[in-house]
Amino acid sequence: MRSDYQTLTAVERASLALRELYERLGYRKYRMGQFEEYSLYMDNKNFLSSERVISFTDLDGRLLALRPDVTLSIVRHASEQPHAAERLYYTESVYRPSAEGHAFKEISQMGIEVLGEIDRYAMTEVTLLAAQSLCAFGPKGLLELSDLRFAVGLFDALGLKDGLRVQALDALGQKNRPALETVARAAGLGTEDAAALCALVELYGPWQPTLERARALCRGETMAAAIEELASVCAAAAQGDNQLAIDLSLVGHTDYYNGLLLRGYLEGLPRAVLVGGRYDGILKKLGKAGGGIGFALDLSEISRLPEQKDDAALDLLVQYTEDADPAVVARAVAGAARQGLRVRALRQEEDPGERCWKDALLISGAGVQRGDGC
Amino acid sequence: MSEYLTVALPKGRLGDKVYNLLERVGYDCREIREDGRKLVFENPAAGVRYLLVKPSDVAIYVEHGAADVGIVGKDILEENRPDVYELLDLGIGRCRMAVASRSDYREDTSRTLRVATKFENIAKQYYASLNRDIEIIRLNGSIELAPLLGLSDVIVDIVESGTTIRENNLKVFTEFMQISARFIANKSSFKFKNEVITRMADKLNGVIKV
């Protein structure tokens, strides 16, 4: 017997399980309006991965957009909680340009946001939920953590100027050591400083030894604070099946994030399926108090995971002849469906295609006969 | 996910240099050299599977996870900006991105410059850095013909020895980008197959001369 729940895809089942998990921890579902005012994105385009947004004029003359980002909308509209952190989760679509298809694509996202006073516990909770969310989708997952303040702190200590900073961030994102060496030469760094800059690309791996190596590179309080915070969050979040790693070359969108960064991968999928981190700058820009942290899961990407399902298989194939009584056929189909079976009625001469079936019935004017499975 | 490390390799001129390099570090490529139409080759002893693809497609295979790692020219990476890790400069397949035109060409800075190229993004980026107004004429091959026939004022293209340029009565005016083959990795594969990718990168790093 098959329950309705079992007919869902693996991603749909995992999404339901995550809703339950988030709600158990006090997260409220946040349902957004279908459209957002275009000005929100134009005033804050530094926070977007692309300035291209689908816009249109509504019947009342307002310029609206299909949202390219959920967090901006939530931060703008969520009510402020003095001396508290608002916990929200969502399942929404975003619309972004696809570089390859030269067209916009709809991306289904699920995520959480914590807004307000962000303490160490809130950061740990979000990290734990990120790791647990990855586990919910089945294959081996890996959550990588970084802190933007580490790389930026080193750039400050080395006196890297704006143009070279951009090049260094670009090179870091690609783990491109030769490009970092070029930046070091252009900045006129000495041997030791150049080595420190290039060492950033090597700072990845299991969280404890990697943070130990990173400590040796710290120059100043900002970098040390980043490492101390990462160690604390990792120690608390490394539990159960959670797979955590550190990658300090992960720098993300530097206008968007300002501290802890999260990236989640699932084995078998080519790109990150979870993206998140600390984004206090967005709240400040939108005139809200406190900070923000959250993550988004790319459900569209996750749904590419190969699924082990037998949706081609029928439990019962009901074949009927031309002289069969439709009422008898309908009763047989309805009865099987009531038992939770997957059933299909076909004319006897109709090709069932590639579908398999476990049992079969042949209904004719003469009555009902039991057939064989395929 | 496959136990093999899947490696996307370029066909053609760069390919021969890449196969030599891989063989030097213990990844046998003999089967690839044998003339044939096969596109997938397995080397169970080394635990690798090679995909033989068009040079401009290597980064696409890697970015989309069809290959874990690949070897591709820097020109392709600069032009298409795939979201991959660029782990090593292999120092082979060296050439330059250059601006060339007829040897008697003199630029008229009062007019929009017509640039023929197959590297549209690289050309746009280069001329934007000079704040020069240009019109791109996108071609897929025989770029050298464009200034000779008046289709464009200049071309932006790869120059290796300079022979093709000279034989077509053209002259290189500026070289603005050094190009060589790069060892790239898919970001997710780098996490889940880190040990084998790092081993290959370390071996390659041991023999390259940059």
pLDDT value, residue B210: 52
Contacts of B82 (CB under 8 A, 6+ apart): B59, B60, B62, B63, B184
- Tokens coding B75: 């020109």
Q: Does B191 contact chain A (CB < 8 Å)? A: yes
**Whether the Cβ atoms of residue A32 and residue A71 lie closer than 8 Å to each other:** no
Among chain A residues, CA nearest to B195: A205
Angstrom distance (rounded) from CA B17 to CA B176: 24
**Cβ distance A192 to A154 under 8 Å?**
no
* Partner-chain residue, chosen from A177, A178, A270, that has the shortest CB–CB distance to B188: A270
Instruction: State the complex-level ipTM.
Output: 0.83
Concatenated DSSP letters of chain B? --SSEEEEEE-SHHHHHHHHHHHHTT---HHHHSSS---EEEETTTTEEEEEE-GGGHHHHHHTTSSSEEEEEHHHHHHH--SSEEEEE---S-EEEEEEEETT----TTSPEEEEES-HHHHHHHHHHTT--EEEEE-SS-TTHHHHTTS-SEEEEEESSSHHHHHTTEEEEEEEEEE-EEEEE-HHHHHHTHHHHHHHHHHHHHH---
What the block records as the tokens of B158 is 């790869």
Contacts of B87 in chain A (CB under 8 A): 175-177
Higher pLDDT, B210 or A322: A322
Tokens representing B147 are 């200034």
- For residue range B111-160, list pLDDT tens digits in order: 999 999 999 999 999 999 999 999 999 999 899 999 999 999 999 999 98
Note the Cα B66 to chain centre separation in Å: 18
Chain A positions with Cβ closer than 8 Å to B: 140, 142, 144, 174-179, 205, 245, 265-272
User: Is B65 in contact with A269 (Cβ distance < 8 A)?
Assistant: yes
Predicted local confidence at residue A3, as pLDDT: 53
Query: How many A×B Cβ pairs under 8 Å?
Result: 47
| B88, B189, B192 ranked by CB distance to A140: nearest | B192
Nearest by CB to B1, from A177, A178, A267: name it.
A267
CB B124 within 8 A of CB B136: yes
In the predicted structure, residue A48 carries a pLDDT above the cut 60 = yes
Q: What is the pTM assigned to this prediction?
A: 0.85
Q: What is the mean pLDDT of residues B176-196?
A: 96
The pLDDT score that the predictor gives to residue A162 is 85
Q: What is the pairing mode between strands A313-320 and A356-364?
A: parallel
**In this model, does residue A319 exceed pLDDT 70?**
yes
Find the CB nearest A176 among B63, B83, B86. B86
What pLDDT does residue A11 have?
A: 84
Query: For testing the chain A interface, which of B89, B186, B191, B194 should be mutated: the one with the most A CBs within 10 Å?
Result: B191
Could you tell me which residues come within 8 angstroms of residue A48 by beta carbon, excluding any fewer than 6 positions away? A41, A68, A69, A72
Dihedral angle computed from the Cα positions of residues B6, B11, B16 and B17, in that order, rounded to the nearest 10 degrees: -70
Whether residues B86 and A144 touch (CB distance < 8 A) is answered with no
pLDDT in tens, B34-73: 767 888 988 888 899 999 999 999 999 999 999 999 999 9
For the cut 60, the answer to whether the pLDDT of residue A1 exceeds it is no
**Average pLDDT for A288-297:** 92
Percentage above 70 pLDDT, chain A:
95
* Spatial CA neighbour of A256 closest among A44, A38, A37: A44
Strand pairing category for A63-65 and A291-298: unpaired
Using an 8 Å CB-CB cutoff, list chain A residues near B190: 175
Instruction: Check B188 against A176: CB less than 8 A apart.
Output: no
| Per-residue pLDDT, B1 | 44
What is the sign of the dihedral through the CA atoms of A244, A246, A250 and A252? positive
Q: Find the closest chain A residue to B189 by CA distance.
A: A270
CA of B163, closest CA in chain A: separation in Å? Answer: 29
Contact A118, A293 (CB under 8 A): yes
User: Residue A339 pLDDT > 70, yes or no?
Assistant: yes
Cα separation, A121 vs A236, whole angstroms: 9
Q: Which residues from chain A sit within 8 angstroms of residue B84, using beta carbons?
A: 174
Q: Which chain B residues are closer than 8 Å to A305 by Cβ?
A: none
pLDDT > 60? residue A4: no
